Chain A
Amino acid sequence: MATDTHRAIDAVWRMESPRLIAGLTRIVHDIGLAEDLAQDALVAALEKWPESGVPDNPGAWLMATAKHRAIDHFRRNTRLDRKHEELGRDLAAKEMAVPDLDSALDDDVGDDLLRLVFISCHPVLSTEAQVALTLRLLGGLTTEEIARAFLVPEPTIAQRIVRAKRTLAEKRVPFEVPRGSDLGARLSSVLGVLYLIFNEGYSATAGDDWMRPALCEEALRLGRILAGLAPREPEVHGLVALMEIQASRSKARAGPKGEPILLFDQNRAHWDQLLIRRGLAALEDAEKMGAAPGAYALQAKIAACHARARTPEETDWHRIVTFYDELSQVSPSPVVELNRAVAVAMAFGPAAGLELVDSLIGEPSLRNYHLLPSVRGDLLKKLSRFDEARAEFARAASLTQNARERELLLERVQECGGRAGPPDPR
């Protein structure tokens, strides 16, 4: 019975802690203190609830408890700090004036959560710190869970979080939703963090773990929440669309031994039609805003082209090429160019694609990127230039850090084996 209650408390904590911490941060102006107070409330729940049962409105219970702790905290520090005293009195007064704490909080909860999202992904923090803080404060994940997901020792994550909170306090980062010209840049930092979490789960960059569904689910969940909090931002819907459509393929992406299955070899019957529909609907929401599509919406449009094709042959490659053309304008990068080259090869033949890929060979940022030789090998193989293709696959295999991907690439080396034939007429 006690363990049942503990599991229920754990579930309640994950559901309520982001709102709790967000609401408390607005009141105490310090994210670290807010988290401590929320933790205190959790400890109180762990003491009380196994006996009394989980209250009808556990969120309100936790918030009321945390607020009382906040008042205690400020009273204790009264002599040390005049300002804290004022805050404490202020808080106590507010509490007296508003008996129904929960409904008073309700109106602000959305805004507070959005503020929490923005502060967790604040540019004064490193990307690693943004990711850890987001998963901790908004995902309600423990440091141990974050450490396991990123294959990093737990103390490293714990330190990262402590330092991040200290940095936010030292730099006096305001707890606010950025406005005006600031908003675009800040939002793109938030979306970047969510997409990074998603990708970490979708395709592990290291180790044998091909998929870490929990991270994908968490990123998607946070994306869906963000779409509700900032419904007028087309790129939020664009990112959600992209993640929904990519997640729709997760069942089809790995074979019986966990080996990766590439897009064209996937059994499309295993694609999750519900997620595809949700993705297409999110894309429509993004398009409804009328603005020129951003980088995420464009990637979602490309993903949607694949999702709409019932067979690989039905894929509208010409359309995909136009989206990549736009994407290379909106967010130019060698990786986008490489993807564009693949699309061009599919639309206009491998020779046209190879020409583009070859122009990327000197690109410093792709020097150790295994997909460059992998794509090049693929195009060379299609052009029946097997010796060159073999060398490229071998090089790609030596560069990837994912063991299963390496196996796949080594198989491709084998496929190019002793075969030699007339060049492909295309």
Chain B
Amino acid sequence: MRCIVMVRATKDSESGVMPRKELIEAMGKFNEELVKAGVMLAGEGLKPSSNGKRVHFSGAKRSVIDGPFTEAKELIAGFWLWQVRSMEEAVEWVKRCPNPFEGESEIEIRQVFEPEDFGAEFTPELREQEERQRKQMARQK
């Protein structure tokens, strides 16, 4: 499964305070571990929301809102895309991540929809049928 791992923004990240050298190094080492374990597919840090835009939809109307946006903890400061075997594995990896900011911060893990989450080919009935066939075949061998 894949998950997107989002680092929540803080006042510091929103005001453009750059992380200290030690943190950058620690984060670099963590990223290296992720790559070595075949976990990291992609990852980026984001500029403060003062550089961002929002497009608001209201029916057919669209209006553009300039950053910065309030409520830092609802914004994200960076993200990874990971390939892991379970949500628990993602949690274990996040626990090994250096604290992305000084003091309080938060990282959120969200699972990405996979092909098998969609479409009629993976209805529960079909899954069950496959399961039965597998068992049958296992018995025949």
B82-104 CB mask vs A (1 if < 8 Å, else 0) is 01011011011100000000000
Q: Are B115 and A251 neighbours in the complex by a CB distance under 8 Å? A: yes
Closest to A11 in B: B88
A7-22 CB mask vs B (1 if < 8 Å, else 0) is 1101110110000000
Query: 8 closest A-B pairs (Cβ-Cβ)?
Result: A224-B38, A11-B88, A221-B38, A258-B121, A11-B89, A228-B36, A251-B115, A225-B38
Q: Are B138 and A256 neighbours in the complex by a CB distance under 8 Å? A: no
Chain A residues in the interface with B (C-beta under 8 A)? 7-8, 10-12, 14-15, 54, 58, 110, 147-148, 151-154, 156, 206-209, 213, 217, 220-225, 228-229, 250-251, 254-258, 274, 278
| B-side contacts of A147, CB under 8 Å | 138
| A11 and B121 contact, Cβ closer than 8 Å, known pairs A153-B141, A207-B134 | no
B116 CB–A CB distance under 8 Å: yes
| B-side contacts of A258, CB under 8 Å | 121, 126
Chain B residues in the interface with A (C-beta under 8 A)? 35-39, 41-42, 81, 83, 85-86, 88-89, 91-93, 114-116, 119-121, 126, 129-130, 133-134, 137-139, 141
| A-side contacts of B126, CB under 8 Å | 258
| A274 and B41 contact, Cβ closer than 8 Å, known pairs A15-B89, A258-B126 | yes
| A11 and B91 contact, Cβ closer than 8 Å, known pairs A257-B121, A258-B126 | yes
| A274 and B92 contact, Cβ closer than 8 Å, known pairs A147-B138, A152-B141 | no
| Complex alpha-carbon distance, A225 and B36, angstroms | 5
Closest to B41 in A: A274
| Complex alpha-carbon distance, A250 and B118, angstroms | 13
Q: Are A11 and B120 neighbours in the complex by a CB distance under 8 Å? A: no
Minimum C-beta distance from A150 to chain B (A): 10
| Complex alpha-carbon distance, A12 and B86, angstroms | 11
| B-side contacts of A148, CB under 8 Å | 134, 138
| A-side contacts of B133, CB under 8 Å | 207-209
Q: Are A213 and B116 neighbours in the complex by a CB distance under 8 Å? A: yes
| Complex alpha-carbon distance, A224 and B138, angstroms | 31
Closest to A217 in B: B83
| Complex alpha-carbon distance, A12 and B137, angstroms | 32
| A-side contacts of B92, CB under 8 Å | 8, 11-12, 15, 54, 58
| A207 and B38 contact, Cβ closer than 8 Å, known pairs A15-B89, A217-B83, A255-B121 | no
Q: Are B38 and A222 neighbours in the complex by a CB distance under 8 Å? A: yes
Q: Are A256 and B41 neighbours in the complex by a CB distance under 8 Å? A: no
| Complex alpha-carbon distance, A257 and B130, angstroms | 13
| B-side contacts of A156, CB under 8 Å | 141
| A14 and B119 contact, Cβ closer than 8 Å, known pairs A217-B83, A221-B38 | no
Q: Are A7 and B138 neighbours in the complex by a CB distance under 8 Å? A: no
| A-side contacts of B91, CB under 8 Å | 8, 11
Q: Are B89 and A209 neighbours in the complex by a CB distance under 8 Å? A: no
Q: Are B85 and A11 neighbours in the complex by a CB distance under 8 Å? A: yes
16 contacts between A and B (CB under 8 A): A7-B86, A10-B86, A12-B92, A15-B89, A148-B138, A151-B134, A154-B138, A207-B133, A208-B133, A209-B130, A209-B133, A209-B134, A228-B36, A251-B115, A256-B121, A257-B120
| Complex alpha-carbon distance, A147 and B134, angstroms | 10
Closest to B84 in A: A11
Closest to A153 in B: B138
Minimum C-beta distance from B42 to chain A (A): 6
| B-side contacts of A225, CB under 8 Å | 36-38
Minimum C-beta distance from A228 to chain B (A): 4
| Complex alpha-carbon distance, A349 and B100, angstroms | 58
Q: Are B38 and A220 neighbours in the complex by a CB distance under 8 Å? A: yes
Q: Are A228 and B35 neighbours in the complex by a CB distance under 8 Å? A: yes
| Complex alpha-carbon distance, A278 and B119, angstroms | 27
Minimum C-beta distance from B126 to chain A (A): 7
| A-side contacts of B85, CB under 8 Å | 11, 14, 217
Minimum C-beta distance from A215 to chain B (A): 12
Minimum C-beta distance from A342 to chain B (A): 26
Closest to A113 in B: B36
Closest to B37 in A: A225
| B-side contacts of A14, CB under 8 Å | 85-86, 89
| Complex alpha-carbon distance, A40 and B136, angstroms | 34
| B-side contacts of A228, CB under 8 Å | 35-36, 38
Q: Are A151 and B41 neighbours in the complex by a CB distance under 8 Å? A: no
| Complex alpha-carbon distance, A254 and B126, angstroms | 14
Minimum C-beta distance from B64 to chain A (A): 26
| A-side contacts of B121, CB under 8 Å | 254-258
| B-side contacts of A217, CB under 8 Å | 83, 85
| A-side contacts of B42, CB under 8 Å | 274
Minimum C-beta distance from A268 to chain B (A): 15
Closest to B35 in A: A228
| Complex alpha-carbon distance, A278 and B39, angstroms | 13
Q: Which of B35, B116, B121, B126 is the most central at the interface, judged by chain A CB atoms within 10 Å of its CB?
A: B121
| A-side contacts of B114, CB under 8 Å | 213
